[in-house]
Amino acid sequence: MRALHIFTFAVAIFLSVDALPYDKPNVYTIPLKSKSITRRRLSRRAIGSMPVNQEEPDVAYFGQITFGTGTPQNFDIQFDTGSGDLFVFGKNCGSPACEDKPKYDSGLDTSFTPIEGKDFEVEYADGTGATGDSAKTTIVIAGISVDAQEFGVVNEISDDFEHPYVGIMGMAFSDASQNEQTTPITNLINNNQLDNPQFSFKLGRDADQSPSELTIGGSNPDRYHTDTLTFTHLVDDNGGQWEIPIDNCVVDGEELNLEGRTGLIDVGSTRIIMPPDDADTFYAAIPTAIDNDDGTFALPCEEQHEISLVFSGKTWNIDPRDFTVEIDEDDCIGSVVYADTGSDTEWHIGSAFLKNVYTIFDQGNRQVGFAQLT
């Protein structure tokens, strides 16, 4: 989980608005990691297509971002809708997690501008922390250049940050940033570079080798049934997060009817995270579940359960393969786990659910849309 402690909420009218639509017609699509790229141009729109990889199995989703001009440097960066900061390992990163990993070298970047006197520091809810320096440069994502994008050049990071990617791009709203950064998506919107102030995800599943894709500037209707698309507006007090009301949760046909629950829609999280009391209520509907006292519940691996979430009156089912997860041979847990989410009524909805829907993050109208996958 990459949800953040929010420090600052700043509003700059006309200059830094997270939610204004614009008219310039550009929609860009990028799968989440590539080895080869094919790209075609139709009118003024560019579409980037590349094979998909992920941190397996279904742990994290990431793609290539180019940093800098002069000698551009390409890095695999995790996409995270639960945070608001962008960082990459710097060449001076001495932490064990940085060993033998690609690192950003500002000396090769003619567009690099250090931000004097501004350190970079971020801490995520899972305990991961990173520190370094703040800077600006040009980045390129899905063929779109973002000039003067602020980011962190990380010199130290938690030792247990052991992933195939070397940075994180926060895709929450800019006021979720712990470093007062403007997110790349918001910069693209403010610069009138997108057809729609939206981005969308299709998250693949390792078990059936389904593809993953990120679309910036709208959505890819080839990936979902348009007549099933249903939007839910963000709650007012969202702290810069993609947080929406949850109507209900259904476990093997039993409605939990927990009132006032909200869900933070988080591509950067693998599980569905509930407060402990709600997790107890959830697993009370599964007689065979056993609390492991570590945030997880053990389940018999041979069992299949029908789990659904309800948003704006529409029920979305979770594939049983995404709920009962084998973590070791003949050792399974449920993908609903428990932790301190910051509120007794706040859930964090990760890829265990999001693999089952096409998700549109509509920054212009401050809403999240789900649709049935094709």
Residues carrying an active site annotation: 80, 266
Q: Three-state DSSP class for 175?
A: helix
Q: What is the DSSP string of 48-103?
A: EE-----BTTTTB-EEEEEE-SBS-EEEEEEEETT---EEEEBTT--SGGGTTS--
Give the span between the Cα atoms of 8 and 354, in whole angstroms.
Answer: 29
What residue type is assigned to position 237 of the chain? D
Among 368, 366, 364, smallest CA distance to 21 is for 364
Q: What is the DSSP string of 259-283?
A: TT-EEEE-TT-SSEEE-HHHHHHHH
Contact 179, 120 (CB under 8 A): yes
Give the span between the Cα atoms of 324 and 232, in whole angstroms.
Answer: 27
Q: Which helix (H) or strand (E) holds 170?
A: strand 167-170
First to last CA, the chain: 28
Q: Three-state DSSP class for 313?
A: coil
Give the span between the Cα atoms of 123 and 178, in whole angstroms.
Answer: 8
